[in-house]
Chain A
Amino acid sequence: MTATPVLSVRNLVVEIPTRHGVLRPVDAVSYDIHAGEILGVVGESGAGKSMTGNAVIGLLDPPARIVSGQILLSGQPVHTLRGDALRRLRGKRMGMIFQDPLTSLNPLLTVGDQLTETILEHLDVSPSEARKRAIAALEEVGIPAARDRIDSYPHEFSGGMRQRVVIALALCAEPDLVIADEPTTALDVSVQAQIIALLKRLCRDRGVAVMLVTHDMGVIAEAADRVAVMYAGRLAELGPVREVLTDAHHPYTAGLMASTPLASQGHRRLRQIPGAMPRLGNLPPGCAFSPRCDHVQDRCRHDPSPTLDTCDGRAACWFPLRSQKDNTPEHDQEAEA
């Protein structure tokens, strides 16, 4: 694992100036994604997961902007790039898949038009070669009879097929990194699993690094190699998916797991986390999760939670849980020691 990660995000801070003050939808977030790896980014809506993805690909809607931190693509900084230089990277080096396949495709252009346009933009090939590649791209994502369907308009495909087309579009110029922003949320449950399987296969076959943004723990458990849990703009926990899921160190992750039905855990009572995530303009002092935390201590209410680098590397918490069974107060002293 000494290879340069495909994507490396370092202390990324995104701010939105509003009339009520400056909001920080992304606050000191750091993570790496390596080739052939799927990083799941999970959290409630408004936790900053999509905003992180948009920041990486350089599509933040003004007035949102990156104020500090670094985004490195295979070691090269991209957060400093503007305009055309940034545009040339999009599609070519990093692709993006959106949530709703119904609205992500231009209704007035055929699927083939949109594919060849993207290929011709980034690869030095002839139009007929681009068309061949477009058909191949459709075949790769599992569109049956791709040769016949390439001149169809988006509305002539079903929802699941459209999401396959979207994936083909994101991958057709062979990027190293794909940001998938809730790629299954808008789909029927039966189709969700197919799309996840497709993403996993493409990631493995092509060695693409995938950032999978979702609010669905089930999807994470199914697809991701590592998981980053976000809460109110900050990373709460980051680690290998099996460890985080079975042995959460951050009370928020633990609460999230306890509230998610997972087939692997058999029958058990689901619990919910009391309260709701605070709005960004209205964060409590200290740790953002402290008002909802079962294990809250005085320190949590005053000191902002530590970043991952400054504590144990797994959970951004003053008093990380050791294991799910070990919920007694003693562990807090141990953690401080």
Chain B
Amino acid sequence: MLAYIIRRVFQSVLVLLIVGLVAFSMFAFVGDPVDNMLGQERTQADIERLRQQLGLDRPFIVQYWRFLEQAAQGNFGLSYRQGRPVAEILMERLPATLELAFVSGLLALFGGIALGIFTAIRRRGAAANVIMTLSLIGVSLPTFLIGILLIYVFSVELGWLPSFGRGEVTDLGGWTTGFLTASGLKALILPAITLGLYQMTLIMRLVRTEMLEVLRMDYIRFARARGIREKSVNFRHALKNTLVPVITITGLQLGSIIAFAIITETVFQWPGVGLLFINAIQFVDIPVMAAYLMMISVMFVGINLIVDMLYFAIDPRLRVDRTAGGH
């Protein structure tokens, strides 16, 4: 088990190195950083001096190493557009995104698993069919349309909920939270539903498929043949086996919530890192793009690792170190 975890950590580091290479290549090849940093009145000497200062005259691999060193310390340089340190801008924006992602994730996870189980058990029921049809619409409905629809109904027509921004936030020593004020919570509702709905449909469909697969297994038939109650067959025997494969993909889904937040944040003008990223793309603000990429990679890789650990907690076959081969 330890060997497995070490291998996974090693793989994660490899992924981060590759992503780092992509991020660094953006710096190195997309637009000239010197051009971007010096104003119109520059001399050849200025350029040379800055090149040396930035280490751009060094070999590629040395520059890459320096970049990784700096990145590990959270130093991504200055934003081309705002002229402020990228790390500072990111930290300012991060709480908004994390709070949104957290609420959406909970919604997607619990809603998705509950509905998935329901539609699998009542496979031939009318309610399950209605939910499945709706979920297909949900998958086909782009996130931004869901957001627009919600804004139209709840902000424009009914006027119940705000259509943009975070509402009133409280500053808790560098972490701004919207959880503590009524207006902050109200502002969170629509974006959280928008962001969570799509992931919820995906998780629901996944849980349903896996559960149906498990319900076809011999040990389910055997449990039925022993006269085990339907409730126990479904929740004790089937659900646990369903969760093993579901956990990986669900973990990844939750990770992608942070990425999909880009769309939701744009629709609701939610002041998080996603909105920052989209603006960075529009204005080709390379340092911000690179930093965002690195940050989100660390999150994804972290989530993947946690998911792998969860596997061990659930599946006894993995917990034991290869007992008696047999079959």
Contact = CB atoms under 8 A, between A and B. Distances in A.
Nearest to B216: A61
Contacts, number: 92
Given A107-B317, A108-B240, A166 B226 contact: no
A108 B228 contact: no
A105 interface: yes
Contacts of B83: none
B232 A117 contact: yes
Interface residues of B, number: 28
Given A98-B218, A158-B324, A158-B326, A106 B227 contact: no
Given A121-B232, A153-B320, A170-B225, 6 more contacts: A98-B221, A98-B222, A103-B219, A107-B315, A121-B228, A159-B326
A153 B317 contact: yes
A90 B227 contact: yes
Contact of B241 (A107, A155, A156, A173): A107
B241 A170 contact: no
A335 B244 CA distance: 63
A106 B237 contact: yes
Contacts of B244: 108
Interface residues of A, number: 35
A71 to B, nearest CB: 15
A44 interface: no
B241 A87 contact: no
Interface string B285-325: 00000000000000000000000000000111100100110
A265 B167 CA distance: 90
Contacts of A219: none
B312 to A, nearest CB: 13
Interface string B215-254: 0011101111111111010001100110010000000000
A11 B48 CA distance: 98
Chain B contact surface mostly: helix
Contact of A108 (B241, B323, B326): B241
Contacts of A270: none
Contact of B218 (A100, A158, A173): A100
B327 interface: yes
B316 A57 contact: no
B226 A169 contact: yes
Interface of A: 57, 59, 87-92, 95-96, 98, 100, 102-109, 114, 117-118, 121-122, 153, 155-159, 166, 169-170, 173
A109 B237 contact: yes
Contacts of B241: 106-108
A173 B327 contact: no
Contacts of A173: 226-227
B324 A118 contact: no
B317 A90 contact: no
B316 A122 contact: no
Contacts of B240: 108-109
Contact of B227 (A98, A103, A121): A121
A323 to B, nearest CB: 41
A108 B237 CA distance: 8
Given A59-B225, A90-B225, A91-B225, A103 B217 contact: yes
Contact of A95 (B221, B225, B320, B326): B225
Given A87-B227, A106-B241, A121-B228, A155 B317 contact: yes
A121 B219 contact: no
A118 B227 contact: yes
Contacts of A122: 227
Contacts of A103: 217-219
Given A108-B241, A159-B326, A96 B225 contact: yes
B224 A59 contact: yes
A166 B317 contact: no
A291 to B, nearest CB: 35
Nearest to A155: B317
